[in-house]
Amino acid sequence: MSSLAEIWRFRPLILELVRRDLKLRYKNSIGGIAWSLLNPLMQIAVITVLMKFILPTPVKDYSAYLFILFLWNFFQVSLADGCVAIVNNATLVRKVYFPRAILPLATLLGNLFHFAIAFAFTILYFFVLGTYPSHLFVNGVYPGPLRPEIFLVLPVIFFMIVLCLGFSLILAYLNVFYEDVRFIVTALLQLFFYAVPILYPIEQVKAKGVYDIYMLNPVAALLVTYQRALLLPPTVTQKGVQLPAVGVPWGYFSLACVVSTCVLGVGFLLFEHYKWEMVERL
């Protein structure tokens, strides 16, 4: 708790680091923040064309379900950036005392800013596509009672932030002592993309009988919950047979929340216990 209180006292420094990172990221860039949307938008366009014209996966408005890409990109970029947050600021760490956990936190908050823009774009896209407002209501019937799942969106984002920060702290600590960690993380994140339900509906995973093992992955559980909170389950057919719809995975979502909190706790403990060893190593 003392480390959290110390971080809170240094909040002006956190905001300054976030501003610095945003300025550096788009220095001499004409497109600016728009570039943060371009990559996932291109992925969505490519996957939608693939699903619609090449792989016959009859899912109506499948592009809408792909907007979990923005949340996945937030996770992916936050881990990659957080991993090198201490090493990239080695001079600052050696010269001035401040809670070292501030650096991965500031990096994550910068990426959260980009995700907030992407989230606003997601909602706008849903309205333009006509997906909303029917998905706001039970069984897609308007007027009617609101779907309670809608209120899961912010808790999912919160626990994704918790999980990202926890992993970022652990990886940033490890990368100070073993700089190969950054390259391992980059490679694993590319592979991990196929272990979350973006290229395929979660209904297909359940049909294969590996759903319970698959959903032990907290990132997959959070992404599925996020998707089902925003949108009603899609109608998915496989070999002409309609697959049972998968709703909000309440049990696995709860487990993901617990795991995320534990990961964050481990990250803070590492930084608190080895804060001076990290400075000496740098």
Q: For the residues 130-142, what does the mean pLDDT come to?
A: 73
Q: Return the higher-pLDDT residue of 58 and 25.
A: 25
**Residue with the larger pLDDT of the pair 206 and 86:** 86
24: in domain: no
Report the mean per-residue pLDDT for the chain: 85
pLDDT at 1: 53
Could you tell me if residue 26 is inside a domain?
A: no
Mean per-residue pLDDT, 176-205:
90
Residue type, 1: M
State residue 56's pLDDT score: 61
43 contacts: CB under 8 Å, gap ≥ 6: 66, 69
Q: Which domain holds residue 121?
A: 2-13+32-281
Q: Is 11 or 262 the better-scoring residue by pLDDT?
A: 262
Q: CA dist 73 to 50, 56, 78, Å?
A: 20, 26, 8
In a domain, 147, yes or no: yes
pLDDT at 140 over 90: no
Residue 23 lies in a domain: no
Average confidence (pLDDT) over 25-38 = 72
Residue 274 lies in a domain: yes
- Which residues does residue 242 pair with via DSSP β-bridges, in sequence order? 237
Does the pLDDT at position 58 exceed 70?
no
Q: Is residue 21 part of a domain?
A: no
Confidence of residue 106 (pLDDT cuts 50, 70, 90): very high
Q: Between 261 and 99, where is the model more confident?
A: 261
Report whether pLDDT(2) > 60: no
CA torsion 112-113-118-119 (nearest 10°) is: 70
Give the pLDDT band (50/70/90) at residue 7: confident
Residue 263 lies in a domain: yes
Residue 22 lies in a domain: no
Domain tally, the chain: 1
Assess contact for 187 and 193: CB atoms under 8 A. Answer: no
- How far apart CA 271 and CA 226 sit, in angstroms, is 30
Res 59: pLDDT? 64
